[in-house]
Structure 1
Amino acid sequence: MTWTPGLALWCLIFAGIGAAGTWIARGYALRSRLLDAPGERRSHSVPTPRGGGIAIALAFLVAMVAMVARRPDEIVLLACAGIGLVLVAGIGWVDDHRPLSPWSRLAVHVLAAGWLMAGVYLSGRGGVTALVAFGAALVLVNVWNFMDGINGLAATQAALVVAGLAFLAGTDAVLVHLGLALIASIFGFLPFNFPKARIFLGDVGSGALGYALALLLAMSLHRLPEAAWPLVLLPLSAFLLDAGLTLSARIIGGEKWWTPHVQHVYQRWARRLGGHPPVTIAFALWTLVACSGAAWLAGSGRREIAMVVSVWLVSGIGLWRVLRVRSATPTTN
């Protein structure tokens, strides 16, 4: 898709919504004492406002409404996805104010995933894509919540994944516009969150990011031949591996896996290094390479794609194990 002054204006609008919304959310959080306090299950050392991700959620909703006006043929998909996004962001916003049980949150996530599945199916994108969208929504909403624990990590990973998906989708104008709006709103939020966090995404933001990614993933799959579907795993690999392997280790160890913790590799690594930015940057580099690999493989055969994706994921598992062992205990001077 050709870069135009109209696209530049589109990005500026949503970067402005992201920045202004985050600034307003921070003021609200400070007045309401909506703060994350440091603790043994936290990766920060000072009380920090949360809920800044509501700006990203609102910006993405505005973008969806704008795209319905431009592309009324996509009203079914975007209306259903919009309802689901409101459900996910809404339950996250409530949870940011007073913690809810994980099961009540999960019930809402299932309902929201159902809305996305319905939208994908009714928009003519096929039953298989609809089922994948349902699973993706459930997985990514919770993965982004699990992985939102250090400055800038969840936001930068979401922006990179969106860029990778948009590239794979090629000329899908709706996906590109929605993707650019999401990336721009993230860049509006990031100065408040990285390298020093003046506000966190909160559950409202991490959940909204995961749900938005599930929508964009479903849209990209519709444009890809089925043989190339495994390519979408590459941009997502950093978060899927750390979240999935850590969760598996906790379940095998008989721990209460649904409770907060600091056992993810990114958390242990940040604690060992004594700071968040190097870890966020390292994760970003991994995902940049993964996105480049996905772009390079686009158009390749089923066997080549399956082989490279498998090697990449196995390598990621090995790297996860190495980092987990080496970051088990902080270094001492």
Structure 2
Amino acid sequence: MNFVNFMDGIDGLAGLQGAITGMALALAGLEPSGTLLGAALAGACAGFLFFNWAPASIFLGDVGSGLLGYTLATIPLLAPPASRNQAVVLAGTSLWLILADASICLVRRVARGERFYEAHREHLYQRWVAAGASHAQAAGWIGLGSAATTVLALIGWRTREPIWAGAGLALGAVLFGLEWRVVRRAERRASIG
């Protein structure tokens, strides 16, 4: 299942997340190949954003988001065995906000007996845009939150103190809760006015 494909529904979101996480993986220094792949991914996603930011003139599509998701999932596995788990935590913390959105949406759809693999408009970022936010606003705020969790995860990587990754995950939970509240408030305002 490719959560990046699920989250590639507004201009700039997947590319911005790929640039942030790719840069984090490059800065972590996961052996030469992981560092180079992280830097290449960050550069490719940053270049892609010039054309994918609202209003987008190009899109990732299923193949592009599949490749991005696969790359984000496999680069941490290039870390030396002794630090591989920490590399996975680094990537997961960087991707926390989109992973949480996709996971919660998936669980809710399965619990309701819906086909989780069919297209829908229930992700928080989609609901936020439907309630009046621009693609740039939603992608920008989610990207800013991802950058904040990523910085904490990188500090944890560099210091080898797991408390920093824990702080990144906790911040991610708070930011996801805040995003949910912002979306709910925007939906209420949109239904009134």
Question: Could you say which TM-score interval applies, normalised by the shorter chain?
Answer: 0.7 to 0.9
Q: 1:144 to 1:221 in 2, by over 3 A?
A: farther
Aligned to 1:179: 38
Distance in 1 (alpha carbons) for counterparts of 2:167 and 2:35: 26
In the alignment, structure 1 residue 143 sits paired with structure 2 residue 9: no
Q: TM-score scaled to structure 1, two decimals? A: 0.52
1:188 to 18, 23, 47: 47
Q: What is the CA distance between 1:317 and its match in structure 2?
A: 4.6
* C-alpha distance in structure 2 between counterparts of 1:254 and 1:165, whole Å: 37
**1:268 pairs with 2:90:** no
Q: CA RMSD in A?
A: 2.5
Partner of 2:75: 216
Choose which of 152, 156, 160 in structure 2 pairs with 1:293: 152
Partner deviation per Cα, 1:60-101 (whole Å, 9 max, x = no partner): xxxxxxxxxxxxxxxxxxxxxxxxxxxxxxxxxxxxxxxxxx
Task: Map 1:1-333 to 2 at 5 A.
Answer: 138=1, 142-168=2-28, 170=29, 172-220=31-79, 222=81, 224=83, 226=85, 229-298=88-157, 299-302=159-162, 304-305=163-164, 307-329=166-188, 331=190, 333=193
CA distance in 1 between counterparts of 2:76 and 2:154 reads 15
Gaps of 5+ in 2: none
Q: Deviations over 1:280-316 (max 9, x none)?
A: 11011011111111122222434x2564255234324
- Measured against aligned partners, the alpha-carbon deviations of 1:10-65 in whole angstroms (never above 9, x if no partner) come to xxxxxxxxxxxxxxxxxxxxxxxxxxxxxxxxxxxxxxxxxxxxxxxxxxxxxxxx
2:25–2:39 contact (8 Å) kept in structure 1: no
Check conservation: 1:146, 1:243, Cα contact below 8 A.
yes
The amino acid of 1:143's aligned partner reads F
Identity %: 32
Structure 1 pair 189–307 and aligned structure 2 pair: CA distance change class (3 A): closer
- Structure 1: stretches of 5+ with no match in the other structure: 1-137
Distance across 2 between alignment mates of 1:143 and 1:215: 14
Asked if structure 1 preserves the Cα contact closer than 8 Å seen for 2:127 and 2:183, the reply is yes
Residues 131-157 of structure 1, C-alpha deviation per residue, up to 9 Å, x if partnerless? Answer: xxxxxxx5xxx1000000000111110
Give, in angstroms, the shift of residue 239 of structure 1: 0.9
* Counterpart Cα distance in 2 of 1:212 and 1:274: 30
Q: Structure 1 CA distance, aligned partners of 2:9 and 2:176?
A: 20
- TM-score, with length taken from structure 2: 0.85
Q: Determine if contact 1:195/1:276 at 8 Å carries over to the other structure.
A: yes
Q: How far apart are the structure 2 equivalents of 1:196 and 1:310?
A: 31
AA matched with 1:292: V
- Which of 282-291 and 223-232 deviates more? 223-232
